[in-house]
């Protein structure tokens, strides 16, 4: 081997720059951490604003539903457009659209001109923006970090979401007491920060073929076929759908159980916050667990944690105990998410990553939207304690399937190699 070959070999083995010194990833992470805090603050303040202006719980439900419906409706076409267009530009446009729409709401509320149709329109823009932004970010992530750091980046993004949700929820209610428009102004500012951070990120250019927009339906179908053809992705999508459905139902039922059991509202707030605390801690330990645990154990672990802990809510009568229960249930979820998401991103060709993310967001978002409805029906049909056990039984059934499923038992370990 020549001296030049030895130098090249040494460079190839050189450790990559740590994520903390990765300029592009750091800008993306910080910007989105700010944006998620603002978004969570708005989501808490939205129903409060609708109730304050109209006194109608039904109108509040319509506004919140508009956000969820828009996100589901745009999910599949949004993923296809992410694979077709420049991903950095998509993220910038999504942030700019949210700044303008939420800013218009701030002006309307300050002037005393806030209306339900205006709030519905803003909620639609917010939902559609997330449906486009999230696939664009997911698809761009492998271009911003080396393959061997992708799992850590995925887990740190999960921590970012948990932090944003926890801090934003706390700030949203507090800022609303100052003035009705203040939480939304904070959301505008945080999205502006994200926009500026994104402007300085360098995302490698992709070679893309220009195809007529009329082919968008075919491209969406290609994305769904990709998911369906790959058994690992198909099985994990079904598991995510089932688990989110039953856990969303369970979450609502436990809140009702706590309320009827006389748990103070302040403690119920702590319960919800502890879910975020568990997610943050779980995200921080996820990179380590991802490295040391076999993939099947990483995935099945969260299902078994939920199955074992879920029935305990029937016997807990204290909000802090229920909060600890929620934290324990959220602890292993980031590890499973890191294992699944990292493998999917490395497996999927770059020109299909947006569609993969779009399909998965529709699957998970649909389950999260239907879950509370299922929980409400259970509470109406049976006692809250029985409803808890029914939800827990649903999660237990899914856990058994995950445990014995041959595809998940042979789930491959993520390899440190170039993306296909």
Q: How far, in Å, are 152, 168, 245, 263 from residue 372 at the CA level?
A: 31, 22, 8, 20
Task: Give the residue-averaged pLDDT of 88-104.
Answer: 94
According to the model, what pLDDT value does residue 261 have?
79
Q: Using an 8 Å Cβ cutoff, are 150 and 139 in contact?
A: no
Is pLDDT above 50 for 183?
A: yes
pLDDT of residue 89: 92
Q: Above pLDDT 70, what percent of the chain?
A: 92
- pLDDT at residue 211 above 70? no
- What is the DSSP annotation of 228-256? HH-HHHHHHHHHHHHHHHHHHHHHHHHHH
pTM beyond cutoff 0.95 = no
Q: Is the dihedral of CA 340, 343, 348, 351 positive or negative?
A: positive
b (16+ CB within 10 A) / e for 124-144: bbbbbbbbbbbbbbbbbbbbb
Residue 58: pLDDT band with limits 50, 70, 90: confident
What local confidence, expressed as pLDDT, does residue 108 receive? Answer: 92
Domains of the chain: 22-200 (1.20.1250.20), 224-420 (1.20.1250.20)
CA–CA separation, 322 and 325 (whole Å) = 5
414 sits in which H/E element: none
Q: What is the pLDDT of residues 3-12, one digit of tens each?
A: 444 444 444 4
Which pLDDT band holds residue 57 (cuts at 50, 70, 90)?
low
Contact 222, 215 (CB under 8 A): no
pLDDT digits (tens, 9 = 90+) for 217-267: 888 888 888 888 888 888 988 888 888 889 888 888 888 888 777 777 667
pLDDT the model gives residue 220? 84
| pLDDT for 69 | 84
Express each pLDDT in 326-336 by its tens digit: 889 988 889 99
* pLDDT single digits (tens) 73-89: 888 888 888 888 889 99
Angstrom distance (rounded) from CA 51 to CA 393: 36
pLDDT over 90 at 357, yes or no: no
Q: For 358-365, what is the mean pLDDT?
A: 84
Sign of torsion over alpha carbons 177, 268, 42, 20: positive
> DSSP H helical segments within 85-115, as ranges?
87-110
> Structure tokens of 201?
């990120």
Q: In the predicted model, what is the mean pLDDT of residues 275-289? A: 88
Nearest-angstrom CA–CA distance, 361 and 135:
8
């Amino acid at each position: 081997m020549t001296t030049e070959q030895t130098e090249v070999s040494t460079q190839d083995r050189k450790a990559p720059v740590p994520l903390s010194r990765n300029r592009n990833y750091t800008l993306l992470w910080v910007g989105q951490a700010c944006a998620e805090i603002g978004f969570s603050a708005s989501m808490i303040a939205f129903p409060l604003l609708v109730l304050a202006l109209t006194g109608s719980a039904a109108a509040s439900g319509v506004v919140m539903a508009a956000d969820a419906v828009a996100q589901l409706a745009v999910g599949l076409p949004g993923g296809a457009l992410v694979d077709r267009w420049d991903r950095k530009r998509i993220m910038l446009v999504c942030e700019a659209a949210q700044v303008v729409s939420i800013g218009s709401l701030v002006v309307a509320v300050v002037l005393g001109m806030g209306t339900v149709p205006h709030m519905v329109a803003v909620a639609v823009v917010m939902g559609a923006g997330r449906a486009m932004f999230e696939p664009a970010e997911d698809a761009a992530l492998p271009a911003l970090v080396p393959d061997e750091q992708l799992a850590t980046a995925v887990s740190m993004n999960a921590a970012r979401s948990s932090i944003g949700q926890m801090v934003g929820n706390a700030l949203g209610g507090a800022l609303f007491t100052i003035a009705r428009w203040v939480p939304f102004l904070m959301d505008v500012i945080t999205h502006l920060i994200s926009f500026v951070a994104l402007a300085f990120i360098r995302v490698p250019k992709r070679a893309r073929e220009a195809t007529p927009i009329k082919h968008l339906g075919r491209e969406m179908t290609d994305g769904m076929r990709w998911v369906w053809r790959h058994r690992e992705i198909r099985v994990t999508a079904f598991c995510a759908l089932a688990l989110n459905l039953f856990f969303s139902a369970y979450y609502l039922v436990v809140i009702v159980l706590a309320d009827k059991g006389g748990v103070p509202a302040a403690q119920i707030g702590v319960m919800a916050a502890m879910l975020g605390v568990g997610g943050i801690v779980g995200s921080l330990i996820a990179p380590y667990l991802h490295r040391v645990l076999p993939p099947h154990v990483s995935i099945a672990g969260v299902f078994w944690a939920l199955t074992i802990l879920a029935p305990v809510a029937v016997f807990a009568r204290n909000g802090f105990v229920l909060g600890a229960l929620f934290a324990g249930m959220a602890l292993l979820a980031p590890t499973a998410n890191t294992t699944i998401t990292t493998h999917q991103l490395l497996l999927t060709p770059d020109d299909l990553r947006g569609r993969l993310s779009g399909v998965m967001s529709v699957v998970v978002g649909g389950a999260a939207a239907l879950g509370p409805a299922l929980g409400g029906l259970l509470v109406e049909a049976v006692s809250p304690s029985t409803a808890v056990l029914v939800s827990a039984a649903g999660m237990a059934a899914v856990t058994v399937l995950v445990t014995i499923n041959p595809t998940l038992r042979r789930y491959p370990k993520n390899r440190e190699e170039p993306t296909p």
